[in-house]
Amino acid sequence: MDLITKSVKGTQDVLPKESYKWQFIEGIMRQEAQAHSFKEIRTPVFEHTELFQRSVGDTTDVVQKEMYTFNTKGEDSITLRPEGTAGSARAILEHGVYNDGYPIKAYYFTSCYRYEKPQKGRLREFHQFGMEVYGAASCFADAEVICAADSIFKRLGVKGLRLELNSIGCPTCRASYHKALKTYFEGYKDKLCDTCLSRLEKNPMRILDCKSPICSEIAAGAPTVLEYICDDCRDHFEGVKKCLDAVGIVYTVNPKIVRGLDYYTRTVFEFVATSIGAQGTVCGGGRYDGLIEELGGQHTPSLGYAIGIERLLLLLESQGVKIPDAPTCDLYIAGLGEAAQLKSFGLVKQIRASTLSAECDIVGRSLKAQMKYADKIGAKFSIVIGDSELESDKAQLKNMRTGEKIEISLGDSFFNEFYNVYIASQFVSQ
């Protein structure tokens, strides 16, 4: 029979046999966020379109070409979030979280949506982990979020990542840079793509981020922003570098980094890998000191980063980094006959009430099939219950790795007896 439908192009399913890898990575990220006193924020998957037009920037590829935008039945323009920061900033502002005091430290796991040509490391639905700080202007805040990202990669065992830094200045000093860029690109107007021609008037920095090979080649010879930043921005950038030097984090200054979203100011950074092809940026971030103000709030220095989880998984796979195997079943209880199945069902419930896992038959298998299934799910121990076991209220607990058996009560002491054997086996296996 033909399938009614398949997954949408540019999306992927995370199947049960793979989801443990995501859970392991997410666990490391949560631990790191908690170590830095960040708390989780969750925002809707869609927002009013104007939020992204104002924050991300209407001259960016994201807004011009990649957003999933539609009108509701009430004729409101709604967009699936293309990134996580704008929604978080909107929520912080709308709910007055700043009243709790600064700095506000928030982290998120989110799905994002961009209409791009699907390829390795780039999907139309993708997932990010992000950490954000609101209300901190110090260079130490920049260094802290960079250190947090660096720590995640180190804890996961990632090798060969290159941290690249730049400063794109503030709106004041960037005006001089925009003027220099405009003068430079004016000389190539006959070669720029139509999109970049429109950017030339509105925001020439966006030309530096164009994916067209011709525009990219032209942009390679453009003036760099570090030649134009003001003294305050330069001092801030030097402060960030001093903080990173103090904790031994190696970086490279790359004056070509501008990031793809308009809300960035001052520090921008990327963690780049060379082992996953063209989509080598696995983490990107920086400051967005004007974002809250752009959304209608008071000036609030802010910053953060996001890690692409799909790209991170590709990187771990390409480097052969071993993710711990998924936990397996601690105990499988096979029952022969209705009375034994009922007994098994009750005992399994006892085990599950603790921190351990247990299974019994719920599909009507034979004993042979049940034991085959126990092997398949990697059960550490097994028990077979039949009429004689029900009569004596005792059964044989089998260690599935060693084959060793020990008699165990099926009565009130069942859980304690099993737990003692289980804990002892963990010490032996170590």
118 close to 9: Cβ distance less than 8 angstroms: yes
Enumerate domains of the chain plus CATH numbers: 16-170+248-318 (3.30.930.10), 171-228 (no CATH), 331-422 (3.40.50.800)
Burial of 101 (0-12, 13-18, 19+ CB in 10 A): exposed
Strand, coil or helix: 307: strand
CA angle 141, 145, 146 (to 5 degrees): 110
pLDDT value at position 59? Answer: 65
Give the relative orientation of helices 139-156 and 16-35 as an angle to the nearest 10 degrees.
Answer: 140
* The pLDDT value given to residue 1: 65
- Pick the more confident residue, 422 or 116: 422
pLDDT in tens, 169-201: 998 888 888 888 888 988 888 888 888 888 888
Give the integer Cα–Cα distance in Å for 93 and 296.
8
Quick check: 370 pLDDT over 90?
yes
Q: What is the pLDDT of residues 65-118, one digit of tens each?
A: 889 999 999 999 999 999 999 999 999 999 999 888 999 999 999 999 999 888
* pTM for the model: 0.88
* pLDDT value of residue 26: 97
What does the pLDDT average to over 367-378?
95
Query: Which range has the worst mean pLDDT, 115-124, 145-154, 221-230, 313-322?
Result: 115-124
In whole angstroms, what separates CA 402 from the centre of its chain? 39
- Give bridge partners of residue 69 from the DSSP assignment: 79
Residue 240 scores a pLDDT above 60: yes
Q: Average pLDDT over the chain, rounded to whole?
A: 91
On the question of pLDDT at 260 being above 70, the answer is no
Instruction: Give the model's pLDDT for residue 153.
Output: 96
What pLDDT, on the 0 to 100 scale, is given for residue 55?
Answer: 82
C-alpha angle with apex 63: 57 to 67, nearest 5 degrees? Answer: 145
Q: What is the mean pLDDT of residues 317-336?
A: 93
Q: What is the pLDDT of residue 278?
A: 58
Q: Using one digit for the tens of pLDDT, what is the confidence trace for 4-59?
A: 889 999 999 999 999 999 999 999 999 999 999 999 999 999 999 999 988 887 66
Query: SS3 for 298?
Result: coil
Q: In angstroms, how far apart are the furthest CA atoms of the chain?
A: 94
